[in-house]
Amino acid sequence: MHNCKRKYRFLLVDDQELMLNLFRGILRGGGYKNIIYATTCKQALAIIKKKSIDMIIADMIMPNMNGVEFLKLVRSNPLYCDMPFVMVTGDVSKEGIVYAMEEGVDDYLIKPVSANKAVETIERIFNERRCSDSIRHESTNVFRLMHLKKYDEAIALAHGKLKKSENIELYLVLSECYLKTSDFDNAIKYAQKVLDIKNDSRAVFLLGKIYMADMDYERAIKNFNESSHMNPMNTGRKVEIASAYLKSGLVDEAEAIFDSLKEADITDLDCVGIGSAYLASGDLEKAGAYLARVVDPIPEMISVFSKYAVALRKLKRYEACMRQYEICLKIEPENPSVLFGLGCMHFVERHVDAAIKMVEQAIALKPSFIDAKKMLAYMKSKREHLS
């Protein structure tokens, strides 16, 4: 184990320098020397995309994006969905622990952190990862296939593993995969199997998503409300409830929920979720207002910002559309779809050379971009007339 310790690379995430220094001392005292630091979750996401990390230790309470939202993004990426993750929290309430555990945290440490407890927790997690018959190991490939959107393969593999024994995590994955393939009966069946074993808010929330997809808004809202009551710190679920209200035409009820979210608790991801809900309902003004509240946007938000830009373009609000695409480009400078969209807007504004340059950049980044190639040919054919 001692030789392995030198190889392990840790990512410490905390906006407080004091806590970063504390954990650096704990890790070095435990024999772990390879340590990287991040003071924001956005910074941390960028790091794990570029470097091989063996364990993340993150504080729960941070500005703009909290530690559990960061954990959720890590778990939803097939490249590092099984990365060991320890949450550090001063919240000893049941609600705080449930919030982290339901998103798949390996363990949590309560402040003030004991050095012995921290090292013991780290070593136990690494030992569990080396155990090939652990529940997490059994589930990892199924999770990965689901996040790669290979739903049929994930379903087949999960059923094969479930022949050995019941597994709540696999039942949840099966329910999610059946939902993605619009097999609502089986989606309900496997969410219910979880509830037959334990009262799990994730299964209740999944039932809400299933009923929502099946346009049974009354049942969806009932399940969303129940899951939110079971896991009250998860503001993302409150956003889902309000989105369901919007889709069913209950605008006042939706806005009451949005207004109830405390200013101190609402995060960038919440603002994007609310903006997306208003976009889906056709209320561009409120969508734009919430998207404008995002302090530190990340690439994972690009799709919502881009949809807003497209909606503005359809209303011929070209100047606002261009500003939105420029915001997207600052978030992710090498996004082919954003470059293409902004190029098209420059073409509308008769900035032909700038339009061609951007579409060419989009094609260079994504050679299979057929629509961009067609548009580029059209732009070039019109260049002399429009210049």
The whole-angstrom separation of Cα 275 and Cα 278 is 5
The answer to whether residue 351 scores a pLDDT higher than 60 is yes
Q: Who has greater pLDDT, 104 or 360?
A: 360
Residue 387's pLDDT is 57
Give the contacts of 278 (CB within 8 A, at least 6 positions apart).
246, 284, 286, 287, 290
Q: Who has greater pLDDT, 261 or 204?
A: 204
The answer to whether residue 133 scores a pLDDT higher than 60 is no
**pTM of the predicted model, to two decimals?**
0.88
At the topology level, CATH places domain 132-232 in 1.25.40
Please state the φ and ψ torsions of residue 320, each to the nearest 5 degrees: -65, -40
CB atoms within 10 A of CB 348: 14
Tallying the residues shown for the chain, one arrives at 387
The answer to whether residue 177 scores a pLDDT higher than 80 is yes
pLDDT band at 97 (very low <50, low <70, confident <90, very high): confident
Residue 137's pLDDT is 64
pLDDT in tens, 253-278: 999 999 888 776 789 999 999 999 99
The answer to whether residue 96 scores a pLDDT higher than 60 is yes
Give the residue-averaged pLDDT of 64-75: 94
Residue 163's pLDDT is 87
At the topology level, CATH places domain 297-387 in 1.25.40
In the chain, CATH 3.40.50.2300 sits at 2-129
Residue 136's pLDDT is 63
pLDDT band at 290 (very low <50, low <70, confident <90, very high): very high
Give the residue-averaged pLDDT of 192-217: 95
Q: Who has greater pLDDT, 138 or 307?
A: 307
pLDDT band at 373 (very low <50, low <70, confident <90, very high): very high
3-state secondary structure of 45: helix
Residue 60's pLDDT is 93
- 2-129 in CATH: which number? 3.40.50.2300
Residue 2's pLDDT is 53
In the chain, CATH 1.25.40.10 sits at 132-232, 297-387
Residues paired with 32 in a beta bridge: none
The answer to whether residue 200 scores a pLDDT higher than 60 is yes
> Which parts of 30-167 fold into alpha helices (H)?
41-50, 67-75, 94-101, 115-129, 135-147, 151-162
